[in-house]
Structure 1
Amino acid sequence: MSVITNKINSRKVENAVYDYSLPAGDGWMYELLPGQVLRIVDEEGNQAADTLFYDAEKPEDHYSALTTIAGQKNVYLTTGSILRAESGKELIEIVADTVGRHDTLGGACSAQSNTVRYAHDRLHMHNCRDNFMNQLAKHGENYTKRDLAPNINFFMNVPLTPEGGLSFEDGISGPGHYVEMKARCRTKVLISNCPQLNNPCSGFNPTPIRLLIWDQ
């Protein structure tokens, strides 16, 4: 799939049915109804929003990086990308994007990965996996740690190296940039507003993201 030209949408903030500023390091889970549109805004720039999606009617059918990448033949996400579940079901379509490229491969930070990537004294540091687990625990017994899958990192810059590896680099987003997506079905959205202080994905300074929802 060739990269689609960035698209800016004209939805007005004052018409949103939901508006919430998610603090740096916090988690969030919410159910989108078919046709509803979610906008994630990088309020100060260089933040990373680790995100997963679930079929609300079949929670075990979660977002699949493999199915999504294979379907669009591109490892990055932008306007026009269809985010698919493991079954192949279409969960979300990205309908507007002022950044142009979002990561599908870098995964979420965890206590364990912080020690492997950085140092053993980082074990105690807050991380996205814990945020995910806390939110899943709050939303009923249908979700367990088995429902955690490789996630999307909106706004995060993780280019592939010529050798096929990954490189965590400075973000390419900026203050007020956003990605906007429309639900294709009843979809649960799980976000960890990344608390990462160890790499430049958030400029070593995690900041809030803004979450807005429109009915269409």
Structure 2
Amino acid sequence: MTDRIAPRSGTAFELDYGDELVVLDPEGGQVSDLVAYARADVREVISNGRTFDYEETISLTTGNALWSNRSRRMLEIVEDTAGRHDFLLTPCSVDTFRHFYPDKPAHRGCFGNLAEALAPYGIEEDAIPTAFNVFMNVPVDPAGGKIAVLPPSTSPGDQIRLRALMPLVIGLTACSAYASNGGSFKPIDYRIEPAGDDSDGDDRS
């Protein structure tokens, strides 16, 4: 079954070892912020720094893994029709809107949506890390290192499939920032495909 995250909102749910999470952009041009925590101890959290270090790239796609702050693989990208995602920028927040969009109404953003969705799991605001920004288009200038935030290059139906390599708590949003989504806000779809008997991974605990 496919679930829908309404524009500018978020949700949280659990994955078991070997489950596959498919995140879809149903209309094209929409970013989704993803964070992950180990269910056994939510102090173990997805880490962009560890991921860049061990994967030796900031351009993460099929075959790459997303690592935790404890140097364990949390998710493996097993399919990716989009090919471009960001793991540099933090979830947008009220402060983001005040900084970049002072002429627009402040919104709690992905940070606020994640905080609300993750609270039932005992995860506090200060434990929300840099998200894996699914479908986000953040080119880095090779000369000076300057970054830009451009509209996503996704087409309707583009997706990414990630396999859980340990039991996880996942936070997932339909991003709220203007620049990230080309100035419009659309839904994000997702579905969880339970692990089969032949699934493999790093940690069943």
1:63 pairs, out of 38, 46, 52, with 46
Counterparts of 1:53 and 1:148, CA distance in 2: 9
- Match among 128, 135, 155 for residue 148 of structure 1: 128
Alignment of 1:195 with 2:176, yes or no, is: yes
Provide the C-alpha distance between the structure 1 equivalents of 2:41 and 2:106, rounded to a whole number of angstroms: 34
Shift of 1:212: 1.1
Instruction: Map Cα deviations across residues 88-117 of structure 1 (whole Å, 9 max, x no partner).
Output: 111100000001121101221111122222
Q: Is residue 195–residue 206 contact of structure 1 (8 Å, CA) maintained in 2?
A: yes
Per-residue CA distance 1:116-157 (angstroms, 9 max, x = gap) = 2232x44622411110111122x24x2111211111110010
Task: Using the aligned pairs only, state the percent identity.
Answer: 26
| Residue 128 of structure 1: aligned partner | 110
Matched, 1:118 2:101: yes
TM-score (norm 1): 0.86
Does 105-114 or 25-34 show the bigger shift? 105-114
Q: How far apart in 2 are the matches of 1:87 and 1:153?
A: 21
Alpha-carbon distance in 1 for matches of 2:59, 2:66: 11
Q: Which residue of 2 aligns with 1:11?
A: none
The letter for the 2-side match of 1:157 is N
* Corresponding residue number in structure 1 for 2:20: 37
Q: Report deviation, 1:202.
A: 1.4
Greater alpha carbon shift after TM alignment, 46-55 vs 143-152: 143-152
Measure, in 1, the Cα distance between the counterparts of 2:129 and 2:108: 19
Residue matched to 1:14: none
Residues 11-65 of structure 1 show CA distances to partners (whole Å, capped at 9, x for unaligned) of: xxxxxxx420111111110110011101000000010001101011110110000
Partners in 2 of 1:84 and 1:40 — Cα distance? Answer: 18
Unaligned runs of 5+ in 1: 1-17
Among 190, 195, 199, the alignment partner of 1:211 is: 190
Equivalent-residue separation in structure 2 for 1:151 and 1:164 (angstroms) = 20
- Secondary structure of the 2:34 match is strand
Q: Is the 8 A contact 1:111 1:122 kept in 2?
A: no
How many residues are treated as equivalent by the alignment? 194
Deviation, 1:164, is: 0.9
Question: How far apart in 2 are the matches of 1:51 and 1:190?
Answer: 6
